[in-house]
Amino acid sequence: MVIEIIDEMTKLVNKMQEYIKLDIEDIKKAKHEQLLNRNEEKELMIEKIANYKKQLNQEIVNELQNGVDVNIYRHRVDNLEEELKTLYQLNRKLALIVEPIQQMYKEIVNEITEKNGGNIFHVKA
């Protein structure tokens, strides 16, 4: 069961890596709709990874209690950790791209709001 959980987590992490790479490319090409289309699936994958992590920890505890030498899983766990580090780095790269864009839009909205006396839209009845 431990191996299956690790394998499923690794598949999800790899898929998340690919999605983040696509996000970065879509930001560069201004394909914002495609970014939004992936967001829901990425959120579900993050939940699944978190659930698998809980299951994995429980399964390892069970194995330990049953006298199994859990070092037999060391290579797979190390590989999963490396994939998670790669995912973290890609996420960071995405954040470095998105953050300045977000700040730019915030500044534009603030400037428009200031020019309209605190209202984004000026409605005349």
Least Cα distance to 21 among 6, 34, 10, 9 occurs for 34
Distance CA(78)–CA(111), nearest Å, equals: 49
User: Is the CB of residue 45 less than 8 Å from the CB of residue 13?
Assistant: no
User: Is the CB of residue 52 less than 8 Å from the CB of residue 8?
Assistant: yes
Which sequence spans correspond to the domains of the chain?
2-115
Q: What's the mean pLDDT when you consider all of the chain?
A: 88
Distance CA(120)–CA(104), nearest Å, equals: 16
Give 123's DSSP letter: -
What's the pLDDT score for residue 27?
86
Q: Does the CA dihedral 66-73-82-54 come out positive or negative?
A: negative
What's the pLDDT score for residue 122?
53
User: Is the CB of residue 52 less than 8 Å from the CB of residue 10?
Assistant: no
In the predicted model, is pLDDT for residue 124 greater than 80? no
pTM: 0.75
Helix (H) or strand (E) holding 52: helix 32-65
